């Protein structure tokens, strides 16, 4: 065995099991998972003040992202518990639609969120926080040229020996922030960028690419006229993110957000200054997120729109800063001020922090295993924006899975790989592993083929088992989940076998909701399927009904009302799993597969799918290629 980087002069600071590089939302979950699973862990950050930082939008959850946080919580992660401690306002989105797309969103107190997460990390057994920039990842190489992580080096020259490492570098690698003609080589919020690690990763054969994201300005709320805006209030009662949070403990007075709009004058100022925008002047190299465009992009690409929504959101209880959601920009400061002041309510606004775009290095596609281990280096995992995703929730979900799988690798256990039919997290990671994403990846409900069964309300029932088997969910919590499932099943069965007839009393009760009288006996479950009737209303016809917790009743109602649709989707999942369980041998040489198209051969070599199902989702691999591959694998057997 020989060490690469063997010419370095360094001093050993410590020897641990796992090094986590970065303390954003991915790094926090990865470090907590490893430490809670019994492995000595060091989490590195360029600044201790940046732990669980929210450099952009001050909220957790939202459409589809709320699903990720609920799933993360069900698996034993921390984000859901932390936002329940520190939110300012909570809202369930899409309630006018079916339960499959309901998503929880909470406005966060940014400083309190960071402080609460830092407190959790600092008091976690087996976990140490270290401020310092990781400049190199040390590897050892065996006789076959296979590299394995053996340590990391920080800027002071100190070495932390380790058996596994997880890169959660966020937007810090070779970061630069752009505000018009002004370019600063820093990470988000003016924090120090990480400028050394990129070159060292490339030496190990890891290919990187350049992405971009951006953030709006922050205003002094004393200069904002809220009377010209539409008030947006939170929900009552408040629904917690974490399944372990008692709903009674989080009912509190909430802080309002506000809605206003851009107008034609705003758009004129933007169009007149596009030549000063780094995006349109060709200064920005990286690709930005299509689903979270800057205000310049909105005005150019949606020229027919007369106005765009602008949300004014509080950053915290102890600051006057407010976030101007929907107006991220990289225009110069003078243009920013002029355009913001055309928005109703912002006529006299003063900018506390300018909007800016940020560019950073991240992993090119095709280099991740489904476990989030990087293919080129054994025991090197990665998560978050380094993997080409965007968003706090996507990062945290990956961080948890990377942490679990780093621990599993050290234990000699199989990795935890959630399938697309198991969780939104499974969809997220599968897309990052199999797709050539050319822009920062954002989770959306439309990406989940089986969203009717992957609802945010049943994440605990779907995923507690995985968290329990991984070691992050306690026996007590797991047994509580099994008991919840038992109560749901029993009540559904009871409702299906409890019948009422077409008596005068029953007819009078149904008439209260203008529901048709019964001609023959019907079960309570049958009646619940009528649009105008629900579980609570039918209590009068169901005197033997047991008292059940609200979360159990919620599942009973959904299971009965959507039974046919759920059954159909479960059948689709059954077919899907046939291909997912049809594994492709790791040693398969695609050059040996006859009649495989050149593009398919190249893509299969690049992504190295573990199953037929995964291979079928790779861009450039057609159904005909899959047929050829199946025939070849069958003949090989």
- Which of 108, 92, 14, 7 lies closest to 56, judged by CA? 108
Q: What proportions of the chain, in percent to the nearest 5, are helix, strand and coil?
A: 40, 20, 40
pLDDT at 635: 85
Task: Assign domain 218-354 to a CATH class.
Answer: mainly beta
Q: How far is CA 82 from CA 55, 118, 383, 594, in A?
A: 17, 10, 20, 54
Task: Name the segment(s) of the chain with CATH classification 3.50.50.60.
Answer: 14-51+129-213+358-411
pLDDT at 289: 65
Q: Which residues contact 255 (CB under 8 A, 6 or more apart)?
A: 88, 89, 107, 234, 314, 317
Question: Which residues of the chain are under the pLDDT cut of 50?
Answer: 1-3, 5-6
CB 166 within 8 A of CB 18: yes
CB 407 within 8 A of CB 160: no
Question: CB count, 10 Å around CB of 248?
Answer: 9
Task: Name the segment(s) of the chain with CATH classification 1.10.150.570.
Answer: 582-636
Query: Sheet of 182-184: strands edge to edge?
Result: 182-184, 176-179, 356-363, 208-215
Cα angle value 161/162/165 (rounded, 5°) = 125
Query: Sheet of 41-45: strands edge to edge?
Result: 127-131, 41-45, 18-21, 164-167, 380-382
In the three-class reduction of DSSP (H, G, I as helix; E, B as strand; rest coil), residue 366 is classed as: coil
Q: In which residue are the tokens 């991220």 written? A: 328
CATH of the domain spanning 14-51+129-213+358-411 = 3.50.50.60
Out of 3.40.50.720, 1.10.3720.10, 3.90.550.10, 1.10.150.570, the CATH code matching 582-636 is 1.10.150.570
Q: Which CATH architecture has domain 475-569?
A: Orthogonal Bundle (1.10)
Nearest 10 degrees: CA dihedral of 479, 482, 483, 485?
Answer: 160
Task: Name the segment(s) of the chain with CATH classification 2.40.30.260.
Answer: 218-354
């Amino acid at each position: 065995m020989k060490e690469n980087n063997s010419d370095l002069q360094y001093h050993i600071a410590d020897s641990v099991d796992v090094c986590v590089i970065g303390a954003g939302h991915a790094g926090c979950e990865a470090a907590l998972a490893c430490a809670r699973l019994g492995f000595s862990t060091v989490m590195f950050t360029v600044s201790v003040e940046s732990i669980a930082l929210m450099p952009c939008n001050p909220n957790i959850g939202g459409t589809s992202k709320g699903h990720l946080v609920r799933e993360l919580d069900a698996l034993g992660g921390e984000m859901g518990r932390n936002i329940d401690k520190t939110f300012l306002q909570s809202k369930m989105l899409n309630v006018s639609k079916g339960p499959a797309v309901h998503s929880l969103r909470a406005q966060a107190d940014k400083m309190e969120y960071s402080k609460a997460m830092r407190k959790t990390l600092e008091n976690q057994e087996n976990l140490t926080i270290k401020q310092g920039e990781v400049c190199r990842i040390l590897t050892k190489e065996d006789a076959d040229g296979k590299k394995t992580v053996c340590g990391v080096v920080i800027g002071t020259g100190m070495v932390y020996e380790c058996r596994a490492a997880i890169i959660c570098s966020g937007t810090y690698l070779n970061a630069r922030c752009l505000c018009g003609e002004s370019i600063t080589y820093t990470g988000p919020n003016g924090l120090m960028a990480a400028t050394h690690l990129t070159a060292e990763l490339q030496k190990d054969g890891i290919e990187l690419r350049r992405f971009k994201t951006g953030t709006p300005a922050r205003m002094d709320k004393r200069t904002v006229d809220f009377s010209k805006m539409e008030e947006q209030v939170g929900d009552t009662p408040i629904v917690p993110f974490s399944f372990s949070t008692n709903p009674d403990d989080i009912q509190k007075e909430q802080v309002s957000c506000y809605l206003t709009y851009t107008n034609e004058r705003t758009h004129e100022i933007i169009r007149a200054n596009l030549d000063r925008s780094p995006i349109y002047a060709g200064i920005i190299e990286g690709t930005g997120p299509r689903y979270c465009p800057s205000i310049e992009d909105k005005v150019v690409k949606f020229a027919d729109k007369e106005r765009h929504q602008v949300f004014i959101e509080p950053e915290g209880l102890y600051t006057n800063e407010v976030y101007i959601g929907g107006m991220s920009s990289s225009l110069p400061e003078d243009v920013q001020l002029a355009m913001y002041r055309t928005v109703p309510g912002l006529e006299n606004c003063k900018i506390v922090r300018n909007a800016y775009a940020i560019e950073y290095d991240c992993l090119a596609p095709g280099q991740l295993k489904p476990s989030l281990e990087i293919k080129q280096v054994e025991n090197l995992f990665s998560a978050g924006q380094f993997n080409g995703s965007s968003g706090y929730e996507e990062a945290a979900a990956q961080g948890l899975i990377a942490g679990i799988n780093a621990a599993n690798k050290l234990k000699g256990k199989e990795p935890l790989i959630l399938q697309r039919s198991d969780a939104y997290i499974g969809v997220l990671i599968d897309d990052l592993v199999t797709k050539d994403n050319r822009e920062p990846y954002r989770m959306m409900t439309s990406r989940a083929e089986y969203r009717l069964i992957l609802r945010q309300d049943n994440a605990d029932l779907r995923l507690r088992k995985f968290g329990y088997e991984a070691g992050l969910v306690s026996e007590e919590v797991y047994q509580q989940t099994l008991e919840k499932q038992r109560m749901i099943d029993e009540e559904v069965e009871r409702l299906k076998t409890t019948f009422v007839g077409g008596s005068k009393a029953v007819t009078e009760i149904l008439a209260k909701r203008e529901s048709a009288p019964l001609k023959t006996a019907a079960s309570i479950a049958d009646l619940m399927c009528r649009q105008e009737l629900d579980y609570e209303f039918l209590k009068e016809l169901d005197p033997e009904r047991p008292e059940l917790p609200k979360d159990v009743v919620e599942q009973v109602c959904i299971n009965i009302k959507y039974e046919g649709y759920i059954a159909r989707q479960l059948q689709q999942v059954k077919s899907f799993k046939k291909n997912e369980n049809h594994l492709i041998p790791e040693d398969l040489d695609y050059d040996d597969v006859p009649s495989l198209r050149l593009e398919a051969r190249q893509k299969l070599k690049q992504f190295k799918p573990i199953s037929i199902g995964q291979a079928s989702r790779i861009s450039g691999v057609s159904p005909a290629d899959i047929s050829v591959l199946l025939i070849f694998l069958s003949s090989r057997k």
